[in-house]
């Protein structure tokens, strides 16, 4: 795994942990005058997830996968058997 | 019935919303006709659109198919029941997990599909584990799990149209009190007509152009339902006195909806397993195996969490605002599926806007049906019939006809099931997703763990079927048959049932693989991307 991909996966893990916002559980506070704070936090999680995946595409994209896919197949796709 | 007659409705409510919906359905039919002009009549074009689906169509297709009645009708009703925590429970978790699966599983499956020419997940698993039996075992299970997914769409459409058309047909569908106290029809268009029309329109445009037509219609409908959802949000909040006043009413009248008091912490945590279902949805699997390029997935992976937010946040707010405004859906106990149409009718009172929103909701529902119909047809034709009968047994035209025939068969079964609706759409969806999610260990291990064996794969599938079957019966079938009103979600030790089903499937896979003979290295090498 490339170091960029490791960093991005670390951020995915961080966002996942932050998703469990126990501190907002019983709060009736609102943000922006109308949004329950728990909902606003989770909306932020969605934004953060998009940002992290954008970063992943930039620094962790597995470019070599296209070359792997272009190699000749040794299988018959209909039967799954090895070609002779 | 002509459109002019529809518009009359002198004795009851205005039928204009149905005219708007009728116009929308005509647009879809037009789209089907247009895409049919590009249809080459080949099986490859019908089933996989010649592997030509690009980033934008893929995003719209994946998102549009994932967001069904579950996202609009179900989420609004669920927020009305449980409060704003429903977003964290399902939507933000999905934003993280779906994209992770697209990246970690989807891209590798694309490479394998591209290299070996697989089109369906049954072909893939059969090839990976060199087991025709596994293919035959998986196919009916996948179909059985997709049918509730389709059913959710038809039930959602029926509930929405029924709710919005109350009073439009006072003579034709007059009110009638059933023995259980439920009022039938109330002058509304009955769900069986809605289901019939929806199925006919979707079948028309996918038969006209296959997967390409489904992808085009998905893109169009996804745009429509996202825009109409936002319009609904703005208008409804306006009718409730503005964003702040609507929320203040929740704080005053139903403060629980501002918190997650009605959701258990373990339940919240274990809901995280449910979105893993995207790893085994047949239509997504097919997209992965047949997309144009690996990079086609980039846009979908990034934009998916944002799109989920755009659709779900307004729905969740409308659900809790309805609780604050003390709007209760009809039924005894109240039917949460009917909340959104009731909110639209009660608050907006504008037939054109109501029609537009009804079209938007139907767009979300139909965009989920089309891709799945095509996918099931593809799987049946290629992975089952052609596998059993031989590759050269059927002409190209016969393959397309076979696919269409199977699609009609599945649509027929799903349609018949709409006459036996479960109490809550959201809950049925979660059961369906739980089944797919519990097959995730299989696809993950098939890509990342060389030691996974054929016996381990079969054991994993069987463990999932048995545990899912037992819990599904206990949690949904038995109470429904007994006519019990289900309060809250069915949990096992405070956890979502998917936790146990997933664990059983994963443990069976690992344990049986470790005690059986490993597959040959040279075969596994062909499935280990970058190995």
DSSP B530: T
pLDDT recorded at residue B531 = 55
Long-range contacts of B383-387 (CB under 8 A, 24+ apart): B383/B119, B383/B120, B383/B122, B383/B123, B383/B126, B383/B135, B383/B139, B384/B122, B384/B135, B384/B136, B384/B139, B386/A78, B387/A78, B387/A79, B387/B123, B387/B126, B387/B132, B387/B135
Minimum distance, in Å, between the CA of residue B59 and any CA atom of chain A: 14
Per run of 10 residues, the mean pLDDT along chain B (length 531 residues) is: 40 80 91 77 62 79 79 87 94 95 94 90 93 94 90 86 84 68 71 93 84 80 86 91 96 96 94 94 86 88 95 94 91 79 82 86 84 86 84 81 90 90 73 95 97 98 97 87 74 94 98 97 91 55
Per-residue pLDDT, B182: 57
Q: How many CA atoms lie within 13 A of B450 on its CB side?
A: 11
The secondary element (H helix, E strand) that includes residue B183 is: strand B183-184
Cα-to-chain-centroid distance, residue B219: 16
DSSP letter at B176?
Answer: E
Closest Cβ opposite residue B123 in set A49, A74, A77: A77
What is the rounded distance in angstroms from the CA atom of residue B147 to the CA atom of residue B156? 14
Residue A80 lies in a domain: no
Nearest chain B CA: its distance from A72 CA (Å): 7
Q: Which domain holds residue A15?
A: 3-62
Q: Indicate the pTM of the whole model.
A: 0.89
Across the interface, whether the CB atoms of B268 and A74 are under 8 A apart is answered: no
In chain A, the largest separation of any two C-alpha atoms, in whole Å, equals 69
The DSSP symbol for B345 reads I
CB B169 within 8 A of CB B192: no
Asked if A27 has any chain B CB less than 8 Å from its own CB, the reply is yes
Q: Is residue A78 part of a domain?
A: no
Put simply, the answer to whether A42 touches B92 (Cβ < 8 Å) is: yes
Phi, psi of B170, deg, nearest 5: -65, -25
CATH 1.20.1730.10, applies to B3-525: yes
For chain B, domain boundaries: 3-525
What SS3 class is residue B13?
coil
In a domain, A77, yes or no: no
Q: Determine contact: A84 vs chain B, CB below 8 A.
A: no
**Taking a C-beta distance cutoff of 8 angstroms, is the pair B225, B72 a contact?**
yes
Asked if residue A84 is part of any domain, the answer here is no
CB B147 within 8 A of CB B413: yes
Residue B108 sits at the chain A interface (C-beta within 8 Å): yes
> In this structure, is the dihedral angle defined by the CA atoms of residues B70, B73, B79 and B82, taken in order, positive or negative?
negative
Give contacts of B95 with chain A, Cβ < 8 Å: 45-46, 49-50
Helix (H) or strand (E) holding B177: strand B176-177
Task: Tell the burial category of B482 from Cβ atoms under 10 Å away from its Cβ (0-12, 13-18, 19+).
Answer: exposed
Residue among A12, A13, A77 with most chain B CBs within 10 A, to mutate: A77
Q: How many other C-beta atoms can be found within 10 angstroms of the C-beta atom of residue A51?
A: 15
B450 and B524 in contact (C-beta within 8 Å)? yes
- Give the list of residues 6+ apart from residue B336 with CB closer than 8 angstroms, or none: B74, B76, B77, B78, B80, B81, B329, B424, B425, B426
Residues in B closer than 8 angstroms to A54, CB to CB, are: 302
Q: Complex ipTM above 0.90?
A: yes
Tokens (6 digits) for B270 = 């274990």
Pairing label, strands B176-177, A35-36: unpaired
Task: Report the pLDDT value the prediction gives residue A33, as an integer from 0 to 100.
Answer: 93
The span from the CA of B526 to the CA of B531, in Å, is 9
Helix (H), strand (E) at residue B365: helix B351-378
Shortest Cα distance from A22 to chain B (angstroms)? 8
Q: Is position A8 within any domain?
A: yes
φ and ψ at residue A77, rounded to 5 degrees? -65, -25
User: Smallest CA–CA separation between B199 and chain A, in Å?
Assistant: 31
From residue B522, alpha-carbon distances to B248, B292, B446 in Å are: 65, 27, 15
Low-confidence ranges of chain A (pLDDT < 50): none
Would you call B266 an interface residue with chain A, using a CB distance cutoff of 8 Å? no
Listed in sequence order, the residues at least 6 apart from B499 whose beta carbon sits closer than 8 Å to its beta carbon are B270, B273, B492
Separation of alpha carbons B464 and B461, rounded Å: 5
From chain A residues 32-61, the ones with a CB under 8 A of any chain B CB are 33-36, 38-39, 41-43, 45-47, 49-50, 53-54, 56-57, 61
Chain A residue whose CA is closest to B106: A65
- Three-state DSSP string of chain A: CCHHHHHHHHHHHHHHHHHCCHHHCCCCCEECCCEEHHHHHHHHHHHHHHHHHHHHHHHCCCCCHHHHHHCCCCECCCCCCECC
Nearest to A53 by CA among A4, A1, A8: A8
Would the CB atoms of A43 and B111 count as touching at under 8 Å? no
β-strand B176-177 against B183-184: which pairing, if any? antiparallel
CA-based nearest residue to A47, from B47, B306, B486: B306
Query: Of A70, A4, A53, which is closest to residue B111 (Cα–Cα)?
Result: A70
Contact criterion met (CB below 8 Å) for B303 and B123:
no
Q: Is residue A7 situated within a structural domain?
A: yes
* CA nearest to B134 within chain A: A80
Nearest CA to B113 out of B381, B121, B382 is that of B121
């Amino acid at each position: 795994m490339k170091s960029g991909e490791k960093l991005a996966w670390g951020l995915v893990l961080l966002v996942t942990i932050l998703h469990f916002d126990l501190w907002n559980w019983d709060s009736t506070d609102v943000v922006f005058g109308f949004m329950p704070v728990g909902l606003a936090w989770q909306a932020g999680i969605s934004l953060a997830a998009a940002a992290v995946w954008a970063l992943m595409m930039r620094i962790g994209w597995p470019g070599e996968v296209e070359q792997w896919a272009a190699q000749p197949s040794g299988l018959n796709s209909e039967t799954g058997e090895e070609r002779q | 019935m002509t459109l002019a007659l529809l518009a009359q409705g002198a004795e009851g409510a205005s039928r204009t919303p149905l005219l708007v919906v009728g116009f929308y359905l005509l647009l879809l039919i037009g789209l089907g006709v247009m895409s049919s002009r590009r249809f080459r009549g080949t099986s490859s074009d019908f089933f996989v659109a010649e592997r030509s689906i690009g980033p934008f169509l893929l995003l719209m297709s994946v998102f549009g198919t994932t967001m069904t009645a579950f996202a609009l009708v179900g989420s609004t009703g669920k927020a009305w029941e449980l409060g704003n925590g429903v977003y964290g429970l399902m939507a933000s978790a999905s934003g993280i997990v779906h994209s992770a699966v697209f990246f970690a599983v989807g891209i590798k499956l694309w490479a394998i599909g591209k290299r070996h020419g697989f089109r369906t997940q049954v072909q893939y698993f059969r090839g990976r584990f060199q087991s025709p039996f596994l293919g035959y075992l998986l196919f009916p299970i996948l179909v059985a799990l997709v049918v509730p997914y389709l059913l959710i769409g038809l039930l959602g459409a029926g509930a929405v149209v029924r709710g919005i058309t109350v009073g439009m047909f006072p003579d034709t569908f007059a009110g009638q009190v059933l023995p259980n106290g439920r009022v039938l029809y109330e002058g509304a268009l009955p769900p069986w007509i809605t289901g019939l029309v929806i199925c006919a329109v979707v079948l028309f445009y996918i038969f006209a152009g296959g997967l390409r037509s489904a992808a085009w219609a998905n893109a169009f409908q996804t745009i429509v339902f996202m825009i109409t959802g936002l319009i609904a949000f703005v208008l409804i909040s306006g009718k409730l006195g503005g964003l702040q006043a609507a929320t203040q009413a929740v704080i005053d009248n139903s403060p629980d909806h501002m918190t997650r008091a009605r959701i258990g912490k373990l339940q919240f945590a274990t809901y995280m397993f449910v979105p893993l279902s995207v790893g085994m949805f047949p239509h997504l699997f097919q997209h992965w195996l047949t997309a144009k390029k690996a990079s086609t997935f980039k846009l979908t992976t990034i934009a998916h969490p944002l799109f989920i937010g755009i659709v779900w946040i307004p729905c969740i707010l409308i659900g809790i605002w309805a609780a604050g405004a003390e709007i209760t859906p009809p039924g005894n106990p109240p039917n949460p599926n009917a909340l959104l149409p009731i909110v639209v009718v009660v608050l907006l009172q504008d037939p054109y806007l109501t029609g537009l929103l009804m079209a938007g909701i139907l767009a979300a529902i139909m965009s989920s049906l089309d891709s799945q119909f095509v996918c099931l047809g593809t799987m049946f034709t290629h992975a089952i019939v052609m596998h059993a009968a031989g590759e050269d047994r059927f002409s190209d035209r016969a393959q397309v006809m076979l696919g269409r025939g199977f699609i009609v068969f599945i649509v027929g079964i799903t349609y018949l099931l709409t006459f036996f609706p479960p109490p809550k759409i959201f809950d049925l969806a979660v059961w369906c997703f739980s089944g797919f999610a519990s097959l995730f260990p299989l696809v993950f291990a098939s890509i990342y763990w060389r030691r996974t064996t054929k016996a381990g794969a079969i054991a994993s599938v069987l463990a999932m079927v048995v545990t899912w079957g037992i819990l599904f019966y206990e949690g949904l079938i038995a109470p429904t048959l007994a006519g019990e009103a289900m309060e809250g979600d069915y949990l096992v030790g405070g956890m979502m049932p998917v936790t146990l089903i997933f664990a059983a499937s994963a443990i069976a896979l690992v344990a049986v693989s470790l005690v059986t003979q490993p597959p040959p290295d040279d075969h596994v090498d062909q499935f280990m991307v970058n190995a």
